[in-house]
A and B are shown apart, each in its own frame.
Chain A
Amino acid sequence: MSDLPLSPVSPIARPGWASRVPVPVLLAAAFLAVLAFSMAFPRVVTPYDPLVSDVAHAMQPPDATHWFGTDRIGRDVFSRVIYGARYSLLIGLSSMIVSLLVGLVLGVTAGLGRRAVDEGASRVFDVLSAFPPVLLSLFVVTFLGQGIVNMAVAVGIAGIPKFGRVLRSQTLGVRRADYVTHAVTFGMSRARVFVRHILPNVLAAVPVIATIDIGSAIIAVSALSFLGLGPQPPTPEWGVMLAEGRDVLRVAWWPSVFPGMAITLTVMAFSLIGKFLARVYGVRTR
């Protein structure tokens, strides 16, 4: 009977979720990869300068030479959309980083601190989320003045409560986890337990919220630019292009529809990937 297979089963292989990525998520990732490439090397993708106007060929509908047509003063819409990715994505990314950093500090402090600290930080999140994000960003831009950096900060402030709340609840869960208690029984100092166990496990939620948040940041950035509070014309930012295209919308659809599609597809791509990551990591985003 010694040959009875009584010893426990051998460890099972890691579930192969990587091989089961849904097709829409793969498409989204491919789209973002193409976008990132055109952001880095716009000259490879398009021969035209986004700022050079050619009045002789103004308001051309899309054709073989100008894939997305030309705008009111004859600039190539395709190359403006490509160059515009730099502005829209980078501003969206930096505002997300602003929300992340402030939200992380406030959220982790709230999760670890005493009740009064927690209440204080949570009320900050309540106040910030009481205003619609675009309205709040409008306030901040009016207060700080126009410009790319100020707009990134403004959109970032509006995104703080989303990060703060998720990271606070994540911290609350992690600090009560058995492995944190167990680390205490090894005689570790509080700081060491925080650095080794609490922070890394709290940060596990960040990629998920960040990916979802960057989409809404891009929308907010475009909305503010559309209102003329961000980069100024002739900068090829997608929101600015939408605003310019609005004037000629009755006669030409292409100067507004293509930057609009760029915004929509980018935001959809980020949100698809974010939701997928949320499912894989089991993070609740609300």
Chain B
Amino acid sequence: MKTDPSLAQPQSLVDIRGLSISFPHANQGKPLVRGVDLSIRAGECVALVGESGSGKSLTARSLIGLAGQGARIDAHRFDVNGLPALDFREHDWRALRGAFAGLVMQDALVSLDPLRTVGAEIGEAVALHAGLRCHAERSARVRAVMSDVGIPEPERRVRQYAHELSGGLRQRALIASAIAAGPSLLIADEPTTALDVTVQAQILAVLAARLREGVGVLLISHDLAVVADIADRVLVMYQGEVVDSGPTGSVLNNPSHPYTRQLLAAQPSALSRGHQLGSARMVPDPQALGESGELTILREPLPARPAPSDEIVLKVDAIGKRYARRGAAGNDMFTALDDVSFSVHRGEVVGIVGESGSGKSTCANIVLGLVTPSAGAVDFLGTRWNGAKLKEASRRALRPRLQYIPQDPLSSFDPRHTVQQLLQEGLFSVDLSRRAVIDRSVELLEQVGLDAGYLGRRPATWSGGQRQRVAIARAIAPEPALIVCDEPVSALDVCVQAQVLDLLAALQARLAMSLLFISHDLDVVRHVADRVLVFKDGRVVEAGEAERVFESPQHAYTRELMAASPSVRRVKRSLEPGGALMNRSLLVTL
């Protein structure tokens, strides 16, 4: 790409007005994307934010002619790289992909060819577009690109395959292959969604470095917090339309559209503790009359809950778990969990945070009595629950008192069962007549905000929020003392997450249950938990009252985790007009 020196303004890479995309056989032929205006200049980061199905990925893919087979694209103006792209043919697009625009997708493991080394993958883009046919030149370029994206020891990594790299390195390799031919535009479709917060921060830093080099970035995310730090402008999409757009600071602090306001209000945070998220509203601040447009979030308090008692429900005593490494010799063991102790009191919500591989899920499985620990023991309601040589039969009587809400409820539903049968399963330990089972099922559905009409249906085609409600209804059916929630909201969009968290909090208070709440999302744990445990490499590195831990973290790792965690509260200081307003944190609770 050669920059035209006659242009005074930074070059416009993409300029689109009134874009609409439709498929003849989807959505009754109605457009899935309507009236979208999008322009990206060199060195600028534009973020497309919206929930799943809002049309953000489709919009981004249409920029490189990958909207999909049979897609009908209409626009008043559709300039890509300064050329009218509406009547592009496939070979025009092909010349553009890689050379003008690189695409980074969410899942690097499936986006990289498993049969080729990372070096070959990146080298291909170099050979195709940069015209470097000479082998030595090409591999020098590949190594240069790899160090650009922060892959350590490029000489060694070029010979490795995608599955040999960690998630973060893999994502960097994918970015490297996207920028190898020196494109002016980088389209990143949820590039950090599957990654831990610390790795996510590193990947965002790699994107920021591209921006400084004058590359334009289109960043797609479902999470406003992720884009808050890096994006210059934000476009919020909802049901195929852009409902809010503008400089990042003004969209975050002064959203004009109700949807954006709702999105921001539903975000859990330190200030939302003890309050409902689903009903939270962003309204003009009544105390700041006169100052134009200042907004604040109004939240209703959650129903009062009984104070946690001293009675210990769950006592985890120095548990550890070691696995033999696959294909390794006898004593090469992998320690998944090492010397973890904690207890949960009646009516208490204990949060567990940590990155993937930190032992959170192993701990959950031992607490649930699904995995036997290699060391230590678990007591539940004063009885020995899990430990060496303990048989499942001795747990059976107490099983109904300890329930489980998984991340993906659908896979925990027997695919043949209706909601009625699923709930019956939860009630199987309770001795009830057939009639009483149905009455109780209806009552359970009402408690989770679903009506009796759902009883005869199967959850396979439902939305994530509805499925999670059924999973909650099933878990509370046997009146448990403790529910283990393993990432219960991480597959949900922010607004649905807010509803599910409110529901869990209300039920927890009403039924005086204890919750063991596992999540990688610090904001969510901060919102729900009374006490929190921070896991790292199978150990608890910090434990304490949630507010104390998040307010003044003692351990270096906790601080690192918190710094890496994206948050809408730390709004980018921008030099856009109105910057003074943006720098103020406006998310206050009344």
Contact = CB atoms under 8 A, between A and B. Distances in A.
Interface of A: 1, 4, 6-9, 11-14, 177-179, 181-189, 196-197, 200-201, 204
Contacts of B398: 187
B400 interface: yes
B434 interface: no
B529 to A, nearest CB: 22
A12 B259 CA distance: 24
Contact of A186 (B258, B261, B429): B429
A11 B412 contact: no
Contacts of A177: 411
Given A8-B496, A11-B457, A188 B408 contact: no
Contact of A201 (B396, B414, B461, B465): B414
A187 B425 CA distance: 10
A201 B416 contact: yes
Interface of B: 258-259, 261-262, 281, 368-370, 392, 395-400, 402-404, 406, 408, 411-416, 425-426, 428-429, 457, 461-466, 478, 495-496
Contacts, number: 79
Contacts of B461: 11-14
A258 B369 CA distance: 64
A19 to B, nearest CB: 15
Nearest to A15: B461
Interface core residue of A14, A187, A189 (most chain B CB under 10 Å): A187
Given A4-B259, A186-B400, A196-B425, 8 more contacts: A4-B258, A8-B466, A13-B461, A177-B411, A184-B392, A185-B370, A187-B396, A188-B428
18 contacts: A1-B258, A4-B262, A6-B495, A8-B465, A11-B457, A11-B461, A13-B461, A178-B411, A178-B412, A179-B412, A181-B412, A182-B404, A185-B368, A185-B369, A186-B400, A186-B425, A196-B414, A200-B416
Contacts of B462: 8, 11
Contacts of B426: 186
A183 B258 CA distance: 42
A11 B425 contact: no
A192 to B, nearest CB: 8
B413 A179 contact: yes
Contacts of A201: 414-416
A234 B369 CA distance: 67
B408 A185 contact: no
Nearest to B415: A201
Contacts of A183: 414, 425
A185 B466 contact: no
Contacts of A184: 370, 392, 399
B464 A8 contact: yes
Contacts of B262: 1, 4, 6
Interface core residue of B414, B461, B464, B495 (most chain A CB under 10 Å): B414
Contacts of B259: 4, 6
A186 B370 contact: no
A226 B466 CA distance: 60
B259 to A, nearest CB: 6
Nearest to B465: A8
Interface core residue of B369, B412, B426, B464 (most chain A CB under 10 Å): B412
Nearest to A6: B495
B255 to A, nearest CB: 11
A186 B510 CA distance: 22
A6 B262 CA distance: 9
Contacts of A6: 259, 262, 495
B397 A187 contact: yes
A213 to B, nearest CB: 23
A204 B417 CA distance: 13
Nearest to A181: B370
B397 to A, nearest CB: 7
A126 to B, nearest CB: 25
Nearest to A183: B425
Contacts of B496: 8
A184 B425 CA distance: 11
Nearest to A5: B239
A4 B478 CA distance: 35
B132 to A, nearest CB: 45
Interface core residue of A184, A189, A197, A204 (most chain B CB under 10 Å): A184
A1 B281 contact: yes
Contacts of B464: 8
A186 B483 CA distance: 12
Nearest to B410: A178
B258 A11 contact: no
Contacts of A178: 406, 408, 411-412
B149 to A, nearest CB: 36
Contacts of A14: 461
